[in-house]
A and B are shown apart, each in its own frame.
Chain A
């Protein structure tokens, strides 16, 4: 079945430490891939997106993500986490190539940052 999986429901990291959030997808072909962030009480905000080309994409707020076709993964990374990065992170795919932005979201990973 087609799906987007974020294996980690909750992650806690220390401020200043590196971060990697995992995302795997299950589709026949490479979909368009996205990471969104949702701060408490806020709407979702796009961090970055991948369509094709360079498999390492840069986003806002110092985030980057790497697409690995062989692993069907699109993991989000940040070298040094700030307390303000505490939020819910959603991986999403558009499996039908820009046919209206029908995004399929993973269940999310909640990030906590400890001092």
Chain B
């Protein structure tokens, strides 16, 4: 069974440029998460989806970040424009609703903003 797939694995951009990350969750997982992991820190939740609905986006900086999960499967996280402080790893995870705590993580997308 395939795990959570993220792309790209690495992205280097200049500040003020846009960037997008894609996530394909495990088949059948209706809950999808985007986490931000800064160097030397634990992951922090950006947004959580239940199917197509964003049920928790309180930590998403909405002035420059946006996310979507069309059809309740794949998801895209976008940053426009990127700032130097956005350099981090963006992790996608998925789970079954009600399967407490067992999140399955992708390998992450490492963003470097120059």
Contact = CB atoms under 8 A, between A and B. Distances in A.
- Do A and B bind? yes
Interface of A: 4, 9, 32, 34, 41-46, 49, 51, 90, 92, 94, 98, 100-103, 105-108
B1 to A, nearest CB: 15
Interface of B: 3-4, 31, 33, 40-45, 48, 50, 55-56, 91, 93, 95, 97-108
Contacts, number: 69
Q: Is the interface of B mostly helix, strand, loop or mixed?
A: loop
Given A43-B91, A100-B48, A105 B101 contact: no
A53 B36 CA distance: 32
28 contacts: A34-B101, A43-B93, A43-B104, A43-B105, A43-B107, A43-B108, A44-B105, A45-B105, A46-B101, A46-B102, A49-B102, A90-B43, A100-B31, A100-B48, A100-B55, A100-B56, A101-B31, A101-B100, A102-B45, A103-B43, A103-B45, A103-B101, A103-B103, A105-B44, A106-B42, A107-B40, A107-B42, A108-B41
A90 B50 CA distance: 25
Nearest to A50: B101
A94 B100 contact: yes
Contacts of A9: 40
A105 B105 CA distance: 14
A49 B93 CA distance: 17
Contacts of B106: 43
Nearest to B4: A43
A46 B44 contact: no
Given A43-B93, A49-B100, A105-B42, 14 more contacts: A32-B100, A32-B101, A43-B107, A43-B108, A44-B103, A46-B101, A46-B102, A46-B103, A92-B42, A94-B100, A98-B100, A100-B31, A100-B48, A102-B56
